[in-house]
């Protein structure tokens, strides 16, 4: 075991490696990933800047000679935007003159090719520690101001205090949950008959970053553009100096994750009804050229409408992407793997761009889990899971449970095909394949038949264990 390994793991950071030589880039990325670092790769200075501007980076490692801009140009550009970002320059020239020039240009350190792994890891560890120490120092300098601004609104853990009023009309009732971008609260509109809504508040640490606010606004815009009964409805977007938040319809129900965990494996008909609604939502999103990219059971809520349960709402378009939109590409992590690992399509694991077929694969993962109570792939580590997704075949459903026909299993396995060309080519095509398992009332109803009333946020009936279960469409 390398003596420095534990130190590196404790200081695992977010690193961008820039080199137009793919072999060098991948070799360095592997060295760093083994030590627990989150590594993004870029083949050019322009691509690297996209990543630096949309992520909080700890270290930038760049080759000096590149086709579009030199490593020195990249260093100087990034330093204008973040003076404290450590930049390590790589060079094939081990001479003292090169070292002196690297320091003169402002590089934190320089590394000579071929890279020595121990020196690389030690240099990265020093750079990460220096950057984080500087960040803590800056935070201490303005901590008094932040605490004064937050004392009347937030608890010590950063949560909004109950009865806090946002934008002079939304009174916080309780916290519902928290994610990577923000915390969701139940709130009451004091200016509109006390209607209850859900408010997703951008985390305070992110609210100070213009790129995070733009990405958060983009989530609201994408959701607002999708008027579909199976997609959560956006009511408002508010950006104030002290708070930024999305206002959505308040939904009461149970996540698909809870159903999978608490209920027996789903029957073919119940699974088909739920998946058909998810596919209907994705069909609308894909028609608008929007790819979800993080479909999973946690992001599917089962609500109740007019005593009919298992009415689907697809949530969290936080990392969704508008295909072909150049602005959207600057707000995502170029070279990084986005989404929840267990539901990543193989092409995403290889670093390919988003597509509707990646969402189809995720639907296959969700359907497999609904039927078997386990994801199609598992691994002891992130890398082991990606290897399984890329190279292994899921266990046949019939080997894990009975009561699932060969025809239904074939639909699941087609959605899980590693080659995107062998999957269903659209959400609608997969929904059509599920037709024989859908009850007549579902086949007769258009999607809008299950739409909530549009004049006010929808409040669904709570579904508690032991309570009377409403009618299911199955």
- CB neighbours of 317 closer than 8 A, spacing ≥ 6? 219, 222, 223, 285, 290, 292
Lowest mean pLDDT among 8-12, 33-37, 195-199, 417-421: 8-12
Output 350 or 279, whichever has higher pLDDT. 279
CATH of 253-472, one of 2.40.50.100, 3.30.360.10, 3.40.640.10, 1.10.510.10: 1.10.510.10
Residue 369 pLDDT exceeds 80 = yes
**Mean pLDDT, rounded, for 215-230:** 81
Burial class (CB in 10 A: 0-12, 13-18, 19+), 139: exposed
Q: Which residues are catalytic?
A: 294
Top CATH class, 5-141? alpha beta
Question: Taking residues 191-196, what's their average pLDDT?
Answer: 77
State the pLDDT at residue 327.
42
Write the pLDDT tens digit of every residue in 438-468. 887 665 444 433 333 232 333 333 333 333 3
Q: Report whether pLDDT(371) > 80.
A: yes
Higher pLDDT, residue 306 or 424: 424
Question: Which residues on neighbouring strands pair with residue 312, listed in sequence order?
Answer: 302
Residue among 111, 52, 93 at smallest CA distance from 76: 52
* 5-141 and 152-249 share one fold: no
Average pLDDT of the residues in 255-281: 94
150 pLDDT higher than 50? no
Q: What is the mean pLDDT of the chain?
A: 79
* Per-residue pLDDT tens digits for 160-172: 888 888 888 888 9
Instruction: Give percent above pLDDT 90 in the chain.
Output: 32
Q: Of 36 and 154, which is predicted with more confidence?
A: 36
Half-sphere exposure of 430 (CA within 13 A, CB side): 35
pLDDT given for residue 264 in this prediction: 93
pLDDT tens string 280-336: 999 998 988 888 888 999 989 998 876 788 889 998 775 544 444 444 433 344 334
| CA 53 – CA 96 distance, rounded (Å) | 33
**pTM for the predicted model, two decimal places:** 0.59
- Fold for 152-249, please state it: Phosphorylase Kinase; domain 1 (3.30.200)
Domain ranges within the chain, ordered by starting residue: 5-141, 152-249, 253-472
pLDDT of residue 139: 59
Tokens of 279: 């596919």
Looking at per-residue pLDDT, the higher value among 275 and 471 belongs to: 275
Task: Name the band, by pLDDT with cuts 50, 70 and 90, for residue 113.
Answer: confident
Contact 274, 310 (CB under 8 A): yes
54-96 pLDDT, tens digit each: 888 889 999 888 888 888 888 888 877 777 788 988 887 655 5
Is residue 406's pLDDT more than 90? yes
Q: What is the mean pLDDT of residues 371-379?
A: 93
């Amino acid at each position: 075991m390398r003596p420095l390994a534990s130190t590196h793991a404790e200081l695992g950071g977010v690193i961008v490696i820039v080199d137009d030589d793919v072999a060098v880039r991948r070799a360095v990325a592997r060295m760093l990933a083994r030590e627990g670092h989150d590594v993004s790769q870029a083949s050019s200075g322009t691509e690297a800047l996209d990543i630096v501007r949309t992520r909080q980076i700890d270290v930038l490692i760049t080759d000096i000679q590149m086709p579009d801009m030199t490593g020195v140009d990249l260093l100087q550009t990034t330093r204008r935007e973040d003076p404290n970002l450590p930049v390590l320059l790589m060079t094939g020239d081990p001479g003292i003159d090169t070292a002196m020039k690297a320091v003169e240009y402002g590089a934190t350190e320089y590394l000579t090719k071929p890279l020595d792994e121990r020196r690389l890891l030690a240099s990265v560890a020093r750079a990460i520690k220096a950057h984080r120490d500087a960040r803590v120092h800056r935070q201490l300098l303005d901590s008094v101001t932040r605490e004064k601004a937050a004392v009347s609104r937030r608890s010590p853990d950063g949560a909004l205090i109950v009865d806090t009023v946002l934008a002079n009309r939304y009174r916080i009732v309780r916290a519902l949950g928290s994610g990577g971008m923000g915390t969701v609260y139940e709130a009451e509109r004091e200016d509109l008959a006390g209607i209850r809504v859900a408010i997703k508040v951008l985390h305070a640490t992110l609210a100070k970053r213009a790129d995070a606010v733009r990405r958060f606004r983009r989530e609201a815009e994408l959701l607002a553009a999708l008027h579909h009964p199976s997609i959560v409805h956006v009511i408002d977007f508010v950006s104030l100096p002290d708070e930024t938040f999305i206002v959505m319809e308040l939904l009461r129900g149970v996540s698909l994750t809870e159903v999978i965990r608490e209920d027996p494996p789903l029957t073919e008909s119940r699974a088909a009804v739920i998946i058909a609604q998810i596919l209907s939502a994705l069909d609308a999103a894909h028609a608008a050229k929007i790819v979800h990219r993080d479909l999973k059971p946690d992001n599917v809520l089962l609500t109740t409408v007019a005593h009919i349960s298992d009415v689907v709402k697809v949530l969290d378009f936080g990392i969704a992407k508008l295909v072909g939109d150049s602005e959207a590409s600057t707000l995502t992590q170029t070279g990084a793997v986005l989404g929840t690992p267990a539901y990543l399509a193989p092409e995403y694991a290889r670093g390919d761009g988003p597509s509707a077929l990646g969402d189809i694969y995720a639907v296959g993962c969700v359907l497999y889990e609904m039927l078997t109570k386990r994801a199609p792939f598992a691994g002891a580590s992130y890398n082991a899971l990606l290897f399984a997704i890329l190279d292994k075949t899921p266990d046949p459903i019939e080997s894990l449970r009975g009561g699932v026909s060969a025809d239904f299993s074939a639909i699941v396995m087609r959605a899980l095909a590693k080659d995107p060309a062998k999957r269903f080519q659209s959400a609608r095509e997969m929904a059509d394949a599920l037709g024989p398992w859908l009850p007549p009332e579902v086949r007769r109803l258009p999607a809008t038949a299950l739409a909530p009333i549009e004049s006010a946020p929808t409040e669904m009936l709570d579904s508690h264990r032991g309570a009377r279960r409403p009618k299911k469409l199955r």
